[in-house]
Structure 1
Amino acid sequence: MTLLPRSAFGQTVLLIGVLLLINQVFSYLSVTYYFIKPNYEQINSLIASQVKTLYLHEAELADPQAKARLFQETGIAVLNQAQAEELGLNQARYYRFFSRELSAHLDGEADVRLSATEPYRIWVNPPQHEDLWIVLPMSGIGETEISPLTIYLLVIGILSVAGGWIFVRRLNRPLHALQHAAIEVGRGSFPEPLKEEGSTEMIEVTSAFNRMSKGIKQLEDDRALLTAGISHDLRTPLTRIRLATEMLPEDQDWIKEGIVNDIEDMNDIIDQFIDYVRQDQEEQREDADINDIICDAVHARNRSQENNVSLQLSHLPKIKIRRIALKRVIDNLMENAFRYGSRDIDISSGIDSKSKMLWFTIRDYGPGIPENQIETLFQPFTQGDKARGSLGSGLGLAIIKRIVDLHYGKIVLSNHHDGGLIAKVSIPINDITA
């Protein structure tokens, strides 16, 4: 498992964040070494000069009146350890950088501290007098949790990342809309034309997609109209043929029965064509229990004494589905199981809490299907002739797959390890509106 984002949005934000981080680091180092460090070195040099100047007048500073005049004129105080502690030495903060730089200027180990509260002072313990503290007033220096430079760089970084995030989100929003619309078109549903927004390239792609969707919808409408027209035109001569067979003499009933059976098969094929084109999109979703639909379908099938259905149904919650369409899925799968598998079939249902899917399976005890043919069975006009001797138009499983796709589910066919074919249909639990 990789920690790197896989989406274009995540990768773009990560790239912008990394580039900004590198920029902030280099900016921080550049400002530190080319601006802040020279200023601090200059301050240290001035402090060292003042301390050395005091050393030149060390004899005069032994006089308390001279110390008082020095403090009055410059604000510089020369204190012993006790006086320094009384004035707030213990509350001052030790600074290693100042101490190291000042030690180099004074040719010895110096201790430099800064007051944490007002009035701000610099405390210097020179190497020549370990029990002496020189206090210099310093304005504009205080202790903060984060330095102004750090705050500045942090704000700039946050604003830059936020700006990049808004830019990428604005760029990806049309892409997400395009993705969802493409999925809907792939399922046979045609959403409203997408709003053309974003960059010029994105507008052009969206416009091309809208034109493509409109063209596909027109083709689907023409195909539906053509199929409906052909179906209507075919049923008329079939009806005449059936009426003609009724006039055959009684000694030719065997001919009449064959013609009627052929007409019924042709009507079934015509109905499959209509069902395949219609896709059951007119039906509205409603709350229903899949187990109830299974029981209804099984009850209708059990009227035939030749069929035997074994049920193993688990408790399922109600979800929004197209009830009639899903009943057609169950009927078709049961019909295939009885016709091409065995007279005994097993139907079970359950729920997968991990993937949040409801599922039901229909298993027969027939010869099964070769593994290399299973993937192609859901294509229109494809039949597993070699394995199960199937007849018809080859649209049954294609219709089933379209209905399952309309429910955002999936159907899988597989050979059972103990023999027979098992069909598993999974449907999301989440309420997905079409």
Structure 2
Amino acid sequence: MIFQIASGAAMFVNLVLPLAHRSADDLADLLILSAYIWDELPPEKRSAFQVELREKYGLNLQESGASLSDEIGLYPYIRFLRAALTVRLPPGQLVSLSEDAHEHFQVEFTQEGRRLYFEFSKVKITPRPSWALIWIAMSGILATLCLAWLLARRVTAPVARLAEAALRIGKGEQAPLLSEQGDAEFADLAHVFNETSRQLQAQRENQTTLLAGVSHDLRSPLARMKMALGMLAEEYSSPLLVRIERDIAEMNELIGDQLALARALEAEAAENTDIDALLVDLIEAADTQAPGRLQLRVDGCRCEAKIAPMALRRCIGNLLDNALRYGGEREIQVIRRRIHNTIFIGVRDRGPGIPPQLREAVFRPFYRMEPSRNRTTGGNGLGLAITRRLVETHGWQVALKSRIGGGTCIWLLIF
């Protein structure tokens, strides 16, 4: 902007103003010469001279009786013309300039005792310094804004691609590698980002492989222990055997949940899914644990969408397990609504509720509100953590709200 203003000012001072002064000098010479010729011509030839001035130069010349009021408005060129006439006329002679409502200028001065009156249109004023300055300023600002926009696009385009790739990595997807061409700074940043993306992907794959291996290695001896306990139970009846079987079942469930938590980082392929049928299937399965306590409420017609069905099934299943575990003995409602392109699925219970300060903590792995850490009453603390990770991986949202009159409502938003 400083360069544009400086260059515009230099052009105005060194080019536009000299041209305006030169044009004003030429017009002043023409007016004085016309006045001199008018004074020298015999009266019978002056009318022909008036016609020639009007046709060739756009000047109307006549003798004036009354003096003009000296008002010229905001026209720099006319001020230049006044200065040029003042220099060329005899010292002390006054020059009057004015304008009328018909876009004409009037110039009046005395030549050999005669008061001569000239009139010409504003169109005749070709050099207009004020307009030139405005055009220079406007073109400078426009050029600056265009250049700034191009430079900003050059800077923001790689940053936008970087932000999009980072967002995809945050969702558990494999982001495409960024181009490492272009400016050195952006190329270095893209190189570092690509290396980080590769390392994160390798860590995720290693973590999943490790957990899968650990799950297999642990479940195999657990299965053998369970089989041996079953054989012992046929020969001996002992409460200790029952307790060991229950502990093995809990360990097997915990291993499965941890593996599900790790695999929740992998996005599942979307497919056309009948959401209402999926909810009915989940409610029928959960109804075996608590007959008559679950109620499904849907609005509108049949709801179908292209989503990840297994991820949705796991999310809703975890929410139902939580509601059955903590919701007491009262009714549990499953709500399905569709507003425009967003699907809302809510699970509402009448349990003790969750304090506002703990609504974010309950989504952390292994966090349990039950202080005794008893899995019978508090679970293993992975259900909501798995739900949150699945939701983030597939671009959904989960929100926890308190119900009026007590209880909790967890909404799943699918876009």
Q: TM-score, normalised by structure 1?
A: 0.75
Q: Distance in 2 between matches of 1:77 and 1:284?
A: 82
Higher relative contact order (CA 8 A, sep 6+): 2
Q: Trace 1:40-119 onto structure 2 (pairs within 5 A).
A: 40-65=20-45, 79=60, 96-103=75-82, 105=85, 107-111=94-98
Q: Distance in 2 between matches of 1:289 and 1:77?
A: 85
Paired position in structure 1 for 2:91: none
Unaligned runs of 5+ in 1: 1-19, 82-93, 117-121, 429-434
SS at match of 1:45: helix
Q: Does residue 182 in structure 1 map to residue 162 in structure 2?
A: no
Cα shift at 1:177: 1.6
Q: Distance in 2 between matches of 1:361 and 1:130?
A: 97
Paired position in structure 2 for 1:256: 241
One-letter amino acid of the structure 1 residue matched with residue 163 of structure 2: Q
- Select the residue among 379, 382, 400 that pairs with 1:413: 400
One-letter amino acid of the structure 2 residue matched with residue 308 of structure 1: R
Cα shift at 1:154: 4.7
Percent of paired sites with the same residue: 26
Q: Distance in 2 between matches of 1:317 and 1:109?
A: 87
| Inter-CA distance 388–369: structure 2 relative to 1 (3 Å threshold) | farther
Q: Trace 1:15-54 onto structure 2 (pairs within 5 A).
A: 20=1, 24=4, 27-28=7-8, 31-32=11-12, 35-54=15-34
Q: Distance in 1 between matches of 2:59 and 2:44?
A: 10
- Select the residue among 307, 326, 339 that pairs with 2:312: 326
Paired position in structure 2 for 1:84: none
Q: Trace 1:78-227 onto structure 2 (pairs within 5 A).
A: 79=60, 96-103=75-82, 105=85, 107-111=94-98, 125-128=107-110, 132-133=117-118, 141=126, 154-155=138-139, 157-227=141-211
Q: Trace 1:277-426 onto structure 2 (pairs within 5 A).
A: 277-279=262-264, 281=266, 283-315=268-300, 318-343=304-329, 344-353=331-340, 357-386=342-371, 390-426=377-413
| Inter-CA distance 427–253: structure 2 relative to 1 (3 Å threshold) | same
Cα shift at 1:322: 0.4
One-letter amino acid of the structure 1 residue matched with residue 406 of structure 2: G
Q: Distance in 2 between matches of 1:239 and 1:388?
A: 25
Cα shift at 1:165: 2.1
Q: Distance in 2 between matches of 1:312 and 1:290?
A: 13
The number of equivalent residue pairs is 385
8 A contact 2:98–2:107 mirrored in 1? yes
| Inter-CA distance 41–232: structure 2 relative to 1 (3 Å threshold) | same
| Inter-CA distance 310–35: structure 2 relative to 1 (3 Å threshold) | same
One-letter amino acid of the structure 1 residue matched with residue 312 of structure 2: L
8 A contact 1:269–1:392 mirrored in 2? no
CA-atom RMSD in angstroms: 3.9
